[in-house]
Structure 1
């Protein structure tokens, strides 16, 4: 019989060696595929938190930063603008900011902010993404005879108050978005991450 001379130990060795080499080959071939799932350095930078310097931000002023390709507006509100916010509740779609997707939990308050005087908000209308214009004065405007300050979107006439809360009866479905942020110190805000988040 021709099979009587087969070395079964050698056969097992060759089979095991082939399996190991094949496994290593599959692992090496999978590395580029798995690496392609990781975001590029450019993508990581685009989503990275941004530190905003508000040391020179005066009462009534607004500065703009960019985070994840979106304009982030930081506004130092006046006491008069803050005082009028509760009176607008009956005119708003979501006066208590109950839609949790629109802001971090810390901003589910009357001012939609960590500190009442400073509003940090994404400057894009929640209707179709146009940039609303800030009308901070508490004076009648052509688009609202009882205007108490806020944002007006010229694209489709949506209106938001000085906390970014959307008025009822306008195309925008939800309040302006508040991004995650925290105060590094009194003069610096870290946009894109909440304090204590990893």
Structure 2
């Protein structure tokens, strides 16, 4: 055995080098693991807001878009449609949209931020069928009402504000999704904001 002094600098160097390499390896393994917690691009796009250009939307016309895998209707209501909605409020289950699933800005007779533009998720609140749009001829479903939505699956009826009539299977008004007007002709469905 030699009583020569021990060189601790080499030992210290090896300890530091091993620690650095181990730390880099742990960080390299952690980055993909932590990144896997983030939603995929497909999941992000499925829930992402959708822009809708309504510059070419004609009075009385309905366009369909998809948001979060659901059909969303954008309807340009005519003055006659708006007037008609006030005449049958006594026949509606929830005319003032008092049910808790409603957004605050949808708690009026037209259920929208702009009376002439109606936006709703096109899924019946009974069992999830998609109602049909009647722009005239709805009177055979509800007397004295020419415009509305009729669910062919079980006969639920909704007026032009998506409010459900009494005596039908659907328990709630159609869902109004969160949306905001970016400008006069562009709507962002999926985010609530101010009105342009």
- TM-score category (smaller protein): 0.7 to 0.9
Unaligned runs of 5+ in 1: 1-19
* Cα shift at 1:23: 9.2
Displacement of 1:64 after TM fit?
1.1
**Correspondence for 1:105:** 104
Q: CA deviation at 1:28?
A: 6.5
Determine whether 1:90 maps to 2:93: no
Deviation at 1:140, TM superposition (A): 2.2
Out of 20-29 and 179-188, give the one that drifted further: 20-29
Q: 1:138 deviation in Å?
A: 6.2
Q: Which residue of 2 aligns with 1:132?
A: 131
Aligned ranges 1:53-72 → 2 under 5 Å = 53-72=53-72
Q: What CA deviation, in whole Å up to 9, does each residue of 1:92-124 have, x standing for no partner?
A: 11110112323x211211100010001011111
Residues 130-159 of structure 1: CA distance to partner in whole angstroms, max 9, x if unpaired?
110011226521x33333421000001000
Equivalent residue of 1:156, what SS? coil
Q: How far off its partner does 1:60 sit?
A: 0.6
Q: Alignment partner of 1:140: what SS?
A: helix
1:115 maps to what in 2? 114
Corresponding residue of 1:154: 152
TM-fit CA distance, 1:189: 0.6
- Compared CA separation, residues 93 and 25, structure 1 to 2 (3 A): farther
Deviation at 1:173, TM superposition (A): 1.0
The residue that corresponds to 1:37 in the other structure is 37
Does the aligned pair in 2 maintain the 1:148–1:161 contact within 8 Å? no
- Under a length normalisation based on structure 1, what TM-score does the superposition of the two structures give? 0.80
Deviations, residues 30-72 of structure 1 (Å, cap 9, x unaligned): 6555433321111101111111010011111111111111111
Q: Report the equivalent of 1:195.
A: 193
- Contact map agreement 1:54 1:188 (CA 8 A) in 2: yes
What secondary structure is seen at the aligned counterpart in 1 of 2:139? coil
Equivalent pairs, count: 190
CA contact (8 A) 2:84 2:145 kept: no
SS of the counterpart of 1:147?
coil
